[in-house]
Amino acid sequence: MDFIDFQKLPFETKCDIITMKSTFLTVRKHEEFNIFLYYAGKFFIEVFYSSKQAKVIMLNGFELMDNKKLEGYLDKISLPQL
């Protein structure tokens, strides 16, 4: 599955892909959210979790070459194995 196909899926199916077919890389904090970063083979997925609301608020996929999105994680992960 590529990034474009992932973006078209319903929320529940995206969650299934994250739990069954993606690799957890790291987590960072941003304001009230914990943002979990996953690697799905051809793209990355951010899971925005609100501790206050105790639920996932948003899923955001982005392509491997989107360096701007990766900047917030570069100090926490090593990507050579990907």
* Predicted confidence (pLDDT) per residue in 34-78, tens digit: 999 999 999 999 999 999 999 999 999 998 877 788 877 777 776
- Euclidean distance between CA atoms 15 and 81, whole angstroms: 24
The answer, yes or no, to whether residue 82 has pLDDT greater than 60, is no
Give the pLDDT confidence of 1-40 residue by residue, as tens digits.
Answer: 889 999 999 999 999 999 999 999 999 998 889 999 999 9
- Indicate left, alpha or beta for 41 from its phi (over 0: left) and psi (-120 to 50: alpha): left
As a whole number of angstroms, the distance between CA 50 and CA 22 comes to 21
Residues facing 33 on adjacent strands: 30, 50
42 phi and psi angles, rounded to 5 deg: -120, -5
